[in-house]
Structure 1
Amino acid sequence: MNNVLETEIAGRKLKIELGNIGMLSNCAMFISYGETVILVNVNASQSPRAGIDFFPLSVEYEERLYSVGKIPGGFIKREGRASEKAILHARAIDRPLRPLFPKGYRNDVQIVCTIVSVEQDNAPDILAMNGASMALCLSSIPFSIPVGTVAVGLIDDEFIINPTEEQRKVSSLNLTVCATKERIMMIEAGGDEIPEDVMIKAIDFGFNACQKIVEFQEEAMKKFGKEKDIPELHVVDEEVEKDVKAFAFDMLKEAMYITDRDKRNEVLKDINNKIKEEFGEKYPDSSADIGDIVYGIQKKVVRNMLLNEGRRPDGRGFKEIRKISCDVGILPRTHGTGLFTRGLTQVMTVATIGALGDVQILDGLGTEESKRYMHHYNFPAYSTGEVKPLRGPGRREIGHGALAEKALEPLIPSEEEFPYTIRLVSEVLSSNGSTSQASVCGSTLALLDAGVPIKRPAAGIAMGLITSEDLSEEEVITDIQGLEDFFGDMDFKVAGTTEGITSIQVDTKIHGLSKNCVEKAITGARVARLSILEKINACISAPREEMSQYAPRVYKIHIDPEKIRDVIGAGGKTINKIIAETGVKIDIKEDGTVFVMSSESESAKKALKIIDDLTREIKPGEIYLGKVTKTTNFGAFVEIITGKEGLVHISKLDVNRVNKVEDIVSVGDEILVKVTDIDNQGRINLSRKDAIKDSEEKQDETEK
């Protein structure tokens, strides 16, 4: 490479290399941190995309399994659709960068981060975020505000920048901070009930660490940066804007002051129809501009209402939460359900308890191979009163599901405490702001209803922000509804317990947040969260003592690890036979712990007995009630426990002389036998005669 620049972050080398790769990309480069390497490419279309009212930015996070020396599983030995983690990482790259592009920029921009080498100590997602910002800054694309990103861990009350794999395992905090030179662009956090003051200090620690990466990008721009293109920005026609404002401003302003959502929407629908009638023929090619103007008027009115008049669209106080209701056990056959309603936002979460074998298998770049707790989130069109095709989960659904999962993960009991797999599914029934945090609350209700012994209940809330154009004034608001999210400047989601924070996710639409804003949002979220937790506790204060009658139960037995092969059998033949006969699920750990799961106790007991029989050590002198499986002219074969049989020689069949085996026993008879000998090949010799004698001797002793 003819252009190389490096620096040191947290004792490891951060390096970029460019110049002789991807020659046709606007900017192509390798960025490396330790032995983790990412190929970053950024490109933009030559001209704006016509007929759209948004900035078409796409971010792709491409995982290559060769980066960790793996060959993809399955029949087709190549990478397929993006993994859930890859989608989450792509969203995390998008969020801090999107607000920093010029307003009105409508060119297609694509960022592709291809993970080509991974050292587990240096997380590729953090490196990709830095690489995306660096590549944009070095390109001719009109993006020139560097964004630095670091991970922050917390071990023994000490903050650590970019913790290694071993440090991440013991860290009570997993925090990502993205920042420019002046402001915080994004926060993503998962924590083990981190106190608010500690979280605020951790974010500040991360912000300061980002500054060295920002300076590194600024240095690279001076050395290798291309001259920036002068963008063709979308601007609304002045004459159209003047006419529409004169006609509609007062009507729209009056409508936005209606506190009832349904009435407001009805009035706005009538106003939009009037606008179309008035300007449809006059400006036939300006429908998109007219839409922008109407949006701008509504945004200005709402922001002025919040920032200068001190009132909210629905009449609430800035710290007031909408009306909340909680309910549990509403579905008769599921293992646990929770219905959480906050204003017009409503989420129903359903908990399902499964066997340990039902874990989700992970095939990615990390070292984690499976997970036994998962949360899925569905956001159908009917939740907003719309009609759209029902398809699989999109990036938003995956992101919201992962956020709610992260919020409850530290509270889920360990496998030793609760040997089950847990799946939560949140169905958004009605959406008017912060359904992801309503999912946290619904999930808590469902887990408690299912009898899962979680550490503590959790709840979540979304905080909003309204700022002046120069960012000198700012107002933080609690429990934002859809309108405030739509026209506001941030969506600051915080979830946790009475003890502290378990997750944070922050999106911003402006050039970052001040430290004061972050502090106010975190402290305000705590007050709101405690209020919501009171409502949850009033509904259900502890996990149910008994799980649903329809939920399976786990029964545990420990066997000699050397006997595991006896339970599994050749090609799984034995274990599959047990499952077929009893209808249970069986999971076996390497240490010899066997979990048998069934909703019917008799089936579980039958399976446990079979396993116990298969692994029990048979000793000479023991007496068994066995079943005759075969007779020959020299004796009878008797199964004394499942899968194990021995021979009773004809001379050992009775205390008297036996001429013919069938005179004494037949196939299917149950007889008492005594183990007399086990030879060096494991063959068991049995005696009915000795068992009879032993029985008679015991009877004589009893009579005496």
Structure 2
Amino acid sequence: MLRFIIRNNRGHFKECKRYVSAKTTIGQSELVLTAGEIARFADSAVVASTGDNAVLATCVYQDAGQETDGVPLTVDFRQSAAALGRIPMNFLRKEMSQTDNDILTSRVIDRALRPMISKSWTNPTAINIKPMALDEDCDGIILGLNAAACALHLSSVPLINPVASVRVSIINDEIMLNPPRHRLSEGMSMVLAGTRAERAVMIEMEGPQVTIEQVEEAITQGLSGVDQLLDQMDSLKKSAGKPKLEIESVRNVRVEKNLYEKIRIMAEERLEYIFTDPTHDKISRDDAIKEVRKDVLASFDDFAETSREFNKLVRYTLRRLTINSGIRCDGRGVQDFRPISIKVDVYKKLHGSALFQRGQTQVFSTVTFDSPAAAFHPDSISQLLGAQQRKSFMLHYEFPGFATNEISSNRGSNRREIGHGFLAEKALKHVIPDHFPYAIRISSQVLESNGSSSMASACAGSLALYDAGVPLKAPVAGVAIGLMTNDEKPDEKYQILTDILGIEDYLGDMDFKIAGTSNGFTSMQMDVKIPGLTRKQLSEAIRRGKSGVDFMLSKMANAQENPRNEFKSSVPVLETLKVDPYKRSNIFRNGGLIAKTIEAATGVRISIDDETQLALTAPSRKRMDEAKEMLNKLLMESTVEDYNFGQLVQAEVTEAIDRGVLVRLQTGAQTHFIPNSQLSNLPIKHPSAAGIDVGQKLTVQWLGRDPQTGKVRLSKRLVGSASVISRINPKTK
């Protein structure tokens, strides 16, 4: 047995007789959780492994900090080339900043863990997830999430409930738990995090138009797997867990008992008036609340505590009014949508475009076509290793500061933009035609934001694809579903909200984004601020999302019911040109000089499609014809002479080297290599041994071309000296 050391809360060590582990089989894999062996300076450290794959998660917290509106939690997942048995192929040959996939994985883990930490916890807490050994078929997300969840469970950080996660897939109508990574693209894939009593905490799902019944059955089986994992985590905690800290002793804050009551008496009526006035929009409502806040803060000395208690009153007032009356702050019922307006073909020059407005959320989406050869995009592993893979559909999401009347200092995509863009991309990618000739890029630009801009991007993207003429398998719409619960009876007294506002997301308990077609769901993303949803609440939310998607599809059909019959004239022209392999060097030699010259002159991009064809991408038919004319002229001028197999031709020696000679069959033509073995019937070490020198004229036999390389094969071994001159092709004389 190995020794195992646990650090106590103040950094000292105590020894145990052994390190501890727990294992269980969930679906297709056996998961082993181990603690006490490595990273023992951390407050807790857990290695989750399956087979030869292992991921380390550590949990560290600092002394109590200032109280904030949210939980001070940081989650970072960072892929490792060493864990994959590779050396990064970038310039520095080491891991650089987080990849997009690392960021997406970090967000998934964060959303699963954050609701389980008490909102009274003020200690800055960091969870780091590091792969130790992985193969390309391992599901690093599930390993990392369970390692992080177990590390948090074993740590001193106080938890409401422990959480665990499984991946549920539907492949060929069969539900599978934790399938191998290579099978995830064959059907629906869902990452489900949950806790005891069949409560769902986080959902991340994508799939090809999955029905409600399939989703609900997948959740049922997934939550049963979660219970198995929680049993193992609990047994591990009994052996290696640390006592949880008392939050009051950590905070050490004395809140004046009657401060909240004084603020309530002063401001509650004014807040009720604001939240029941449907004429307010986002800006005017926020300004009105700021005025009340200003008066309240001016009446008390402790600015920080007063501000905190006022925020609690704002939250309580909005939630109470919504739950009790079923009327929201903008006057809508719980199932009502904001006003919707749609405009397609916004700019004629663009390949496809749509302007989508839902309330005060506005998204402008454009579609751009390009050749498939241009559609190379790094994935999680290949980006780390410096390789690239072909990706024929992509959606990029932009959220500038002016969308919320703020100044943005960001340059490039942040975590939020990456996460929301990926969600909208998943919503649409499953309805793209299987053999579409172009690579497609959607750019979704958020111009105004008051809730659910990612689902607005899915709607606008679908409309823009129709405007561009893409024959989708079915149009896609998306909606955000919210939840407000009574703090005392959250399971019994609540309201599910359709098409939530920004303030309902901020002060509510759930943001459940659901996208799909009339046939089923294509993507989901659920995160909550409470310790999980009951099955009843979750089922109601999913069904509310389905009815919301159907409503949105009917609105979108009024604006654009079918895809455009033909592409716009601005869409690039794609063609292929058959070229013998041995002629390619004339186009791509010298760093592709000829290809770049033609591209500069005509705007036509030339790339290799397969072994016998070039792919041409032109901005117009006229430019395509110009490029083809230039290419045909070049290929005709550079055509290497061909002869009948076995024909005798005359060649001039241009260079002699140890291995053979270079000869030219025609003046100005390219040279061909003849090895020593084809210069003489006897073994020779140098052409001079056969009496051959530079400038000499030789009669050689044409033996065709190598079928793989296209190189000319010539031989002098079977050629007589003077008797064959009369048989030489006249054009070579």
TM-score greater than 0.5 by the shorter chain? yes
Q: Does 1:273 align with 2:294?
A: yes
Q: Output the CA distance in 1 between the equivalents of 2:614 and 2:54.
A: 42
Q: Does 1:175 align with 2:186?
A: no
Map 1:422-571 → 2, pairs under 5 A: 422-469=440-487, 470-473=489-492, 474-558=494-578, 568-569=588-589, 571=591
Map 1:88-487 → 2, pairs under 5 A: 88-143=104-159, 145-170=161-186, 172-182=187-197, 183-231=199-247, 232-233=250-251, 236-262=255-281, 263-279=284-300, 283=301, 286-362=302-378, 364-365=380-381, 369-414=389-434, 416-418=435-437, 420-469=438-487, 470-473=489-492, 474-487=494-507
Q: Output the CA distance in 1 between the equivalents of 2:184 and 2:421.
A: 22
Q: Deviations over 1:489-514 (max 9, x none)?
A: 11111001111100000010101011
Q: Deviations over 1:616-674 (max 9, x none)?
A: 997669xxxxxxxxxxxx998699xxx999xxxxxxxxxxxxxxxxxxxxxxxxxxxxx
Match of 1:21 in 2: 38
Q: How far 1:542 sits from its partner (Å)?
A: 2.3
Structure 1 pair 150/325, CA: closer, same or farther in 2 (3 Å)? same
Q: How far 1:250 sits from its partner (Å)?
A: 1.5
Maintained 8 Å contact 1:345/1:433? yes
Maintained 8 Å contact 1:38/1:117? yes
Structure 1 pair 17/583, CA: closer, same or farther in 2 (3 Å)? same
Helix, strand or coil at the partner of 1:472: coil
Maintained 8 Å contact 1:150/1:178? yes
Maintained 8 Å contact 1:559/1:594? yes
Maintained 8 Å contact 1:356/1:587? no
Q: How far 1:390 sits from its partner (Å)?
A: 4.3
Show structure 2 runs of 5+ residues with no match.
3-17, 645-663, 673-700, 705-711, 715-727
Structure 1 pair 108/360, CA: closer, same or farther in 2 (3 Å)? farther
**Amino acid paired to 1:82:** Q
Q: Output the CA distance in 2 between the equivalents of 1:532 and 1:7.
A: 43
Helix, strand or coil at the partner of 1:63: coil
Maintained 8 Å contact 2:36/2:240? no
Q: How far 1:687 sits from its partner (Å)?
A: 7.1
Q: How far 1:76 sits from its partner (Å)?
A: 1.2
Match of 2:80 in 1: 64
Match of 2:691 in 1: none
Helix, strand or coil at the partner of 1:399: helix
Helix, strand or coil at the partner of 2:245: coil
Q: How far 1:567 sits from its partner (Å)?
A: 5.1
Identity %: 31
Q: Output the CA distance in 1 between the equivalents of 2:47 and 2:454.
A: 36
**Amino acid paired to 1:515:** R
Q: How far 1:88 sits from its partner (Å)?
A: 0.6
Count of aligned residue pairs for this structure pair? 634
Maintained 8 Å contact 1:34/1:122? no
Q: How far 1:571 sits from its partner (Å)?
A: 4.8
Q: Output the CA distance in 2 between the equivalents of 1:320 and 1:682.
A: 77
Helix, strand or coil at the partner of 1:91: helix
**Amino acid paired to 1:433:** G
Q: Output the CA distance in 2 between the equivalents of 1:51 and 1:10.
A: 42
Answer with 472-481 or 35-44: which moved more.
472-481
Match of 1:652 in 2: none
Match of 1:673 in 2: none
Match of 1:653 in 2: none
Maintained 8 Å contact 1:104/1:235? no
Q: Output the CA distance in 2 between the equivalents of 1:43 and 1:635.
A: 76
Structure 1 pair 565/169, CA: closer, same or farther in 2 (3 Å)? farther
Q: What is the TM-score of this pair, normalised by structure 2?
A: 0.81
Maintained 8 Å contact 1:344/1:432? yes
Q: Deviations over 1:320-346 (max 9, x none)?
A: 111111111223433221110111111
Maintained 8 Å contact 1:325/1:341? yes
Map 1:539-618 → 2, pairs under 5 A: 539-558=559-578, 568-569=588-589, 571-573=591-593, 575-580=595-600, 582-608=602-628, 614=635
Match of 2:58 in 1: 41
Q: Output the CA distance in 2 between the equivalents of 1:146 and 1:54.
A: 19
Maintained 8 Å contact 2:118/2:160? no
Maintained 8 Å contact 2:208/2:521? yes
Helix, strand or coil at the partner of 1:308: helix
Maintained 8 Å contact 1:466/1:489? yes
Q: Deviations over 1:83-104 (max 9, x none)?
A: 0010010010011211111221
Answer with 344-353 or 385-394: which moved more.
385-394
Q: How far 1:218 sits from its partner (Å)?
A: 0.8
Q: Output the CA distance in 1 between the equivalents of 2:411 and 2:44.
A: 35
Q: How far 1:347 sits from its partner (Å)?
A: 0.7
Structure 1 pair 547/287, CA: closer, same or farther in 2 (3 Å)? farther
**Amino acid paired to 1:64:** S
Maintained 8 Å contact 1:28/1:42? yes
Q: Output the CA distance in 2 between the equivalents of 1:20 and 1:364.
A: 29
Q: How far 1:480 sits from its partner (Å)?
A: 1.0
Match of 2:658 in 1: none
Match of 1:701 in 2: none
Maintained 8 Å contact 1:451/1:546? yes
Map 1:610-649 → 2, pairs under 5 A: 614=635
Show structure 1 runs of 5+ residues with no match.
622-633, 646-676, 690-704
**Amino acid paired to 2:45:** A
**Amino acid paired to 1:278:** S
Q: What is the TM-score of this pair, normalised by structure 1?
A: 0.84
Q: Output the CA distance in 1 between the equivalents of 2:422 and 2:702.
A: 57
Q: How far 1:387 sits from its partner (Å)?
A: 3.4
Structure 1 pair 638/687, CA: closer, same or farther in 2 (3 Å)? farther
Q: Output the CA distance in 1 between the equivalents of 2:361 and 2:671.
A: 61
Q: Output the CA distance in 2 between the equivalents of 1:635 and 1:32.
A: 66
Maintained 8 Å contact 2:164/2:226? yes
Q: How far 1:426 sits from its partner (Å)?
A: 1.2
Q: How far 1:203 sits from its partner (Å)?
A: 1.6
Q: Output the CA distance in 2 between the equivalents of 1:145 and 1:560.
A: 67
Q: How far 1:271 sits from its partner (Å)?
A: 1.6
**Amino acid paired to 1:252:** L
Helix, strand or coil at the partner of 2:124: strand
**Amino acid paired to 1:103:** K
Maintained 8 Å contact 1:26/1:42? yes
**Amino acid paired to 1:508:** V
Q: How far 1:580 sits from its partner (Å)?
A: 4.5
Q: Output the CA distance in 2 between the equivalents of 1:45 and 1:554.
A: 59
Maintained 8 Å contact 2:570/2:620? no
Q: Output the CA distance in 2 between the equivalents of 1:471 and 1:265.
A: 27
Helix, strand or coil at the partner of 1:445: helix
**Amino acid paired to 2:549:** R
Q: How far 1:395 sits from its partner (Å)?
A: 0.9
Answer with 469-478 or 84-93: which moved more.
469-478
Match of 1:656 in 2: none
Q: Output the CA distance in 1 between the equivalents of 2:557 and 2:270.
A: 45
Structure 1 pair 136/584, CA: closer, same or farther in 2 (3 Å)? same
